[in-house]
Amino acid sequence: MILSELRNYLKERKSVVLRDLMLHFDTDAEALRGMLQILVTKGYVKKLATSEACGTSCCKCDSILTEIYEWTG
């Protein structure tokens, strides 16, 4: 996967959870975060702030399920 493929995917979907990106590109979270950070730095993407919990009391939210990136370009 190259950065332009990630950019196009985000551009089409507007908002994506990290886990969806991992599944679509068959890539681990850390590699994706590195590429996403480049897009964030360029102002094309922003990482949305998420709360510590999803609304339930289990407190076991996985960051790949709650880490959301949004296309802003």
> Within 10 A of 47 (CB to CB), how many other CB atoms are there?
15
At residue 58, φ and ψ (nearest 5 deg) are: -75, -25
Q: Is the pTM of this model over 0.95?
A: no
**16-70: pLDDT as tens digits:** 999 999 999 999 999 999 999 999 999 999 999 765 555 555 656 666 667 899 9
CA distance 52 to 54: 7
Give all domains of the chain, ordered by start, each with its CATH number. Answer: 3-71 (1.10.10)
CA distance 73 to 36: 13
